[in-house]
Amino acid sequence: MGLVIASIRLKRFEMPLRTPFKTSLQTVTERKSLLVEVADASGLKGYGECVAFTTPWYTEETVASCRFVIETVLVPLLTGRTLTHPSEVWELFKAVKGNRMAKAAVETAVWDLYAKRRGMPLWQLLGGSPQAVPAGVVVAADKAKIAGGVAEAALNGYRRIKIKVSPASDMELLKKVVADHPELLFFADANGAFDEASFGALLELDRAGFSLIEQPFGEQEWKLHARAKKEMKTPICLDESIKSSDDVQRMIDERAGDVVVLKMGRLGGWSETLKTMELCRRYAIGMWVGGMIEFGVSKAHNLALASLPGITLPGDFSDSRHFWERDIIEPEIKVENGRVALSRKAGIGYEVHFENSLLQ
Ligand code: OSB
Ligand code: MG
């Protein structure tokens, strides 16, 4: 029974963050996004979310570039097609260079639709474990708010906390915060803020007790990452550098990291992410699912991803209310006892409630 892609609609929406999100690269105070809704001939709908930002501060793509590529290139490639499996979407998009976030927004929507037609939760269709997914929150704030942010997260039940760091971080404060919470797992995320000149500060961070350090150097700094892996005891985790399974192969070949962050938007959707996971499993590379201040549709796909074999560490899974006054899915994502339960409903398992956002 073929899956006919009868229509593809794009909806634009935006929402302010409850509190500003501060990294060494950018302070984010609001999020604009696109929702992709694909429908089959019977009117059944699948959803994907575009995770690009408004400006290219984190990745090259933007909301506007994604909108352009989706509307003018991807929608015409897919509309009216009959598919036997959602993995065909990645193949159909092959002639389109790059633009992985645009592709992922559409491709993930087709996977949701496919799972709904099969009447199965996406996580189950992909062979995931039914257990609740370990949550993880990020503290992206000024120095004065780090200790308080960590204490609050611990009170809210989070067992994994990621702290944004840079060469300008107060290393003594970080050491103290980590030492004060021996029950928690701490990740440090540098978003590429270090360079050769600040290598010494990174070595200082190596003594703070983090379980891993995410992307200390720029996305193309393979040699510096290899040096860090060699000289440091804290595992090196690559986030921005991982845009395809080939990048993981390069990390392995150049001994440039121990762990990878999977972001489906950056990888181009489910197909390339599943391929990347296979490679990681083969080489016993640790994996976890990263977030980008997303709404619930992307989070729901990410929860399915986190249920799959080979995910070794808790991902960026916070409560919908952490970033948003009101998420666009119902029920909202709830963190309970440090975990998020997987929905038993078909597809991504959540209803999309667009009226919760601005600019419908
Ligand atoms: O580097 O992981 C990152 C947010 C925006 C852009 C990049 C990153 C992040 C986060 C957010 O760390 C984590 C989350 O959504 O919970
Ligand atoms: Mg990161």
The mean per-residue pLDDT over the stretch 180-188 comes to 97
Residue 256, pLDDT above cutoff 70: yes
Catalytic residues: 164, 263
Burial code (b: 16+ CB inside 10 Å, e: under 16) for 159-196 equals bbbbbbbbbebebeebbebbeebeebbbbbbbbbbbee
Query: What pLDDT score was predicted for residue 94?
Result: 95
The mean per-residue pLDDT over the stretch 278-289 comes to 98
Closest CA to 326 of 293, 296, 359: 296
Name the helix (H) or strand (E) containing 15.
strand 7-22
Residue 137, pLDDT above cutoff 50: yes
Nearest-angstrom CA–CA distance, 54 and 61: 9
Query: What pLDDT score was predicted for residue 42?
Result: 95
Query: What pLDDT score was predicted for residue 309?
Result: 97
Query: Closest residue (by CA) to atom 8 of ligand 1?
Result: 292
Name the helix (H) or strand (E) containing 152.
helix 143-155
Please write the tens of the pLDDT for every residue from 286-322: 999 999 999 999 999 999 999 999 999 999 999 999 9
- How far is ligand 1, taken at its centre, from the CA of residue 150, in Å? 16
- Reduce the DSSP state of residue 31 to 3 states and report it: strand
Place of tokens 């919908």: 320
Q: Enter the DSSP assignment of 308.
A: S
Nearest ligand by distance to the CA of 17: 1
Q: Which residues contact 30 (CB under 8 A, 6 or more apart)?
A: 14, 15, 16, 17
Query: Closest residue (by CA) to atom 3 of ligand 1?
Result: 292
Residue 83, pLDDT above cutoff 60: yes
Closest ligand 1 atom, residue 162 Cα: 12
Query: Closest residue (by CA) to atom 1 of ligand 1?
Result: 191
Closest ligand 1 atom, residue 240 Cα: 1
Burial of 69 (0-12, 13-18, 19+ CB in 10 A): buried
pLDDT range class, residue 269, cuts 50, 70, 90: very high
Pairing, β 259-262 against β 286-289: parallel
- How far is ligand 2, taken at its centre, from the CA of residue 175, in Å? 20
Please write the tens of the pLDDT for every residue from 223-252: 999 999 999 999 999 999 999 999 999 999
* % of the chain at pLDDT higher than 90: 94
Task: Report the pocket of ligand 1 as residue ranges, CB < 6 Å.
Answer: 58, 138, 189, 191, 239, 290-293, 316, 318
Query: Closest residue (by CA) to atom 4 of ligand 1?
Result: 292
Query: What pLDDT score was predicted for residue 360?
Result: 45
| pTM reported for the whole predicted model | 0.96
